[in-house]
């Protein structure tokens, strides 16, 4: 994780995308939201909310030339959710 964090700093410092820092922070430490309903096992399980796929794709595309190989391998945008009724994710902030 330390290496990914160092690689993230390199991308942020490159200023390849105005929201690169926001995206990478969301990726490394997703939002944690309290469950509103009880799970089938009878407990309230917190939900980790990762960044949305389109936010990932936009940042990764803009920063492709600044991305260290290790970070390129570590970030898989297609594994992230798309915002819809079945999935919650963190959307790109509106300036």
CA 5 to chain centre: 13
Tell me the per-residue pLDDT of 56-91, one tens digit each, with 9 for 90 and over.
Answer: 999 999 999 888 888 888 889 999 999 887 778 888
Strand partners, 51: 90
Number of separate domains in the chain? 1
Q: Check residue 5 and give its pLDDT.
A: 67
Give me the domain span that covers residue 17: 2-79
54 falls within a domain: yes
Whether the pLDDT of residue 94 is over 50: the answer is yes
pLDDT digits (tens, 9 = 90+) for 21-57: 999 889 888 888 776 676 777 777 778 899 999 999 9
Instruction: Indicate whether 90 belongs to any domain.
Output: no
Predicted TM-score of the model (pTM) = 0.79
C-alpha distance from residue 38 to each of 16, 34, 41, 84, 88 (Å): 42, 11, 8, 21, 17
Strand-pairing partners, residue 17, are: none
Does residue 7 belong to any structural domain of this protein? yes
Tokens encoding 7: 């690689």
Length of the chain: 95
């Amino acid at each position: 994780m330390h290496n990914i964090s160092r690689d993230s700093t390199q991308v942020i410092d490159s200023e390849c995308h105005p929201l690169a820092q926001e995206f990478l922070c969301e990726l490394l430490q997703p939002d944690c939201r309290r469950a509103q309903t009880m799970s089938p096992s009878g407990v309230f399980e917190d939900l980790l909310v990762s960044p949305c796929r389109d936010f990932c794709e936009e940042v990764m595309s803009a920063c492709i030339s600044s991305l260290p190989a290790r970070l390129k391998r570590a970030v898989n945008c297609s594994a992230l959710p798309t915002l819809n009724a079945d999935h919650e994710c963190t959307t790109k902030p509106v300036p």
